[in-house]
Chains A and B, each alone.
Chain A
Amino acid sequence: MRRAKLDIKSYPGFFAITLVCLLILYAPLLVVTVYSLNDSNSITNWEGVSLRWYVDVFSGPESQKFKAAAWNSFTIAIIAATVATTIATLAATAMIRSGAFKLRSLSFGLISLPLMVPEIVLAVATLIFFNSVGFTRGYGTILIAHIAFCIPFAYLPIAARMQGIDASYEQAAQDLYATKRQAFTRILLPMMMPGVISGFLLAFIVSLDDFIITNFVKGAGIETLPTAIFGSVKQGIKPNIMAISTLLLGVSILLVTISYVVSKSEKTK
């Protein structure tokens, strides 16, 4: 019976296509990683394994530029993810723990708006807004734009987690004379912490990775890692770009893995 059922489900070739799909997704990343270890001045010829381009990233002629860009990228990502996670946590609490209220679906629309508007349109709109209110483009404008598009990425895992937590825990706390605030900070917040951490990490990654919006609102004289990389790539792919890309790739994969592990942890405790 079980065999027959499995047989009905399986289609010849689907497993092969799945492997092709994974190959397509991962091959370019693997190739860049491998070639970042190439001991050659050209990206075409393979001349053995070395870490020279990683040394170059940290102490080569362009290292000052990349260090400054990395500093901007990381500080912006930390601040943007922190603010976005805070806003998203409050918003999720209102959305999931308030039953039905007016403006509820409209609020959800507003929160997910940055995901629905094409990124280039959001970039243009944000640039125009900063221009019309007279903000000078720079670190601050990048930060504000990043917080805005990080909010939905932080919101989704937090809201998902909170939906899985039964309201009776807070009710029990309130039955035992906990105030609303205590029920939130002492019961709900610790329970939804995995969602909050997961949301923070995702927001951090999307901030770290953003190119298009940053490129529009950054103004002259300030770079983040993606805009610095883009500037270099426009003059051709150089080996040090492969090394810096591999580093950034590693950071993203590490963080998304942590986020995954955390959000799966103690799922229904």
Chain B
Amino acid sequence: MAGGTASSGGTAADTYKNARPWLLLPAWAFLGVFVLAPVFMMLVYSFLTKEFRGGVIWEFSTAAYDQFFFNRGLFGDEPPTIEWTYIAIFWRSIWQAATATLMALLIGFPTAYFIATRPEKLRPMWVFLITIPYWVNLLIRTVSMKFMLRDNGPINDFLVGTGLINEPITIINTNFAVQLGLFYSYLPFMVLPIYASVERYNFSLSEAAADLYASKWVTLRRILLPAVKPGVVAGCILVFVPSLGSFLAPDLLGGAKNFMIGSLIEEQFKGNAGNWPFGAAASMVLLTMVLILLLIFARQQARAQKGTG
């Protein structure tokens, strides 16, 4: 996700007339038709009228957004008040994603720091160890988490077995289970960018701080943290964004009560009960939120780059 773009490319190669931007055509065509156009169609659908058996009628309507934000009473004839149902679901999603991000930061930062301070030869192996779980099927990882958190699953068995608790505690189908699931799903995303920026960090700055009698923790807080902030922000974004729209963790770990945006959207397209324009509108709201976040992030990173270069 944070994949760096190429720098200015082959400089001398330009003189050899190797310019061949037309090789981008297949990518442009494919992604244009099957990613860009669909996102545009989604925007269009969010302004259409719903068909009762799923799908849409091609008639302009703002009903979807109206339903999302306003409550006009049972028959739609009362003066509009703010509809809190969906805003509350979005708010819960933000809260869940933020908690998962914080948990990932607390575990991920020390891990990333530890790896970045290993001998250079060993670092790729550590990074690889952190990356492997990311490539394992998210569904399978979420199912494993469900298995772990059951009332009589391994975690409860362990806690009862060691005498820490007397009887199993219910973790599954709570908000906390969803937070744990999200945290577990995206933890590698927190470690990698922080690792990358700590690795670039100039440790002579810490030495200078130590020479001036700063304690280790002061050095960490006042010198290291500001220097690696772009990596920390990148890690937080990479955990927060996919958590926000996730479907599997709330669906499998949260039960019916702990609905998040992903489940709300999914429901609109299931079977005949759904409301496609409303699902499209909710997706547009989510997409807008994510894009604003990424924009802030991009500006922040650009500023950080200017600061160091």
* A residues apposed to B, CB below 8 Å: 5, 8-11, 13-15, 17-18, 20-22, 24-29, 31-32, 35, 43-44, 86-88, 90-91, 93-101, 103-105, 107-108, 110-122, 124-129, 131-132, 144-145, 147-148, 151-152, 155-156, 159, 163, 167-168, 170-171, 174, 180, 183, 202, 205, 208-209, 211-212, 216, 226, 229-230, 233, 237, 241-242, 245, 248-249, 252-253, 255-257, 260, 264
A211 to B266 alpha-carbon distance, docked (Å)? 13
Q: Nearest Cβ distance between residue A197 and chain B, in whole angstroms?
A: 15
Q: How far is the CA of A25 from the CA of B135 in the complex (A)?
A: 12
Residues of A within 8 A of B41 (CB): 125, 128-129, 132
B interface secondary structure, majority: helix
Total A-B Cβ pairs within 8 A:
302
The answer, among A18, A96, A99, for a CB contact under 8 Å with B115, is A18
Q: A14 contacts which chain B residues (CB < 8 A)?
A: 110-111, 113-114
Q: Does B60 contact A (CB under 8 A)?
A: no
User: How far is it, in angstroms, between the C-alpha of A11 and the C-alpha of B221 when the chains are bound?
Assistant: 12
The reply to whether B13 and A87 form a contact with Cβ atoms under 8 Å apart is: no
Q: Are A94 and B39 in contact (CB under 8 A)?
A: no
- Where the two chains meet, the residues of B that have a C-beta atom closer than 8 Å to any C-beta of A are 1, 3, 5-14, 16-24, 26-28, 30-32, 34-39, 41-42, 45, 55, 107-108, 110-111, 113-115, 117, 124, 128-133, 135-141, 143-148, 150, 152, 154, 184, 187-188, 191, 203, 206-207, 210, 216, 219-220, 241-242, 244-248, 252, 261-262, 265-266, 269, 276, 279-280, 283, 286-287, 290-291, 294
Contacts of B107 in A (CB 8 A): 17, 20-21, 24
Distance in angstroms from A225 CB to nearest chain B CB is 8
The 7 closest A-B pairs by CB, nearest first: A118-B245, A129-B38, A28-B144, A167-B10, A167-B13, A125-B38, A94-B23
Q: Secondary structure at chain A's binding surface: helix, strand, loop or mixed?
A: helix
Cα(A44)–Cα(B153), bound, Å: 7
Find the residue from A10, A99, A121 having the highest chain B CB count within 10 A: A121
Q: Assess the B248–A44 pair: CB atoms within 8 A.
A: no
| CB-CB nearest in chain B for A132 | B41
Judging by beta carbons under 8 Å apart, are A124 and B280 in contact?
yes
Q: What are 5 pairs between A and B in contact, CB < 8 Å? A: A97-B18, A107-B24, A129-B41, A155-B3, A237-B147
Residues of chain A within 8 A of B291, CB atoms compared:
116
B24 touches A90 (CB 8 A): yes
Give the contacting residue for A99; candidates B8, B32, B187, B252; CB below 8 A: B8
Cα distance A44–B156 in the bound complex, in angstroms: 12
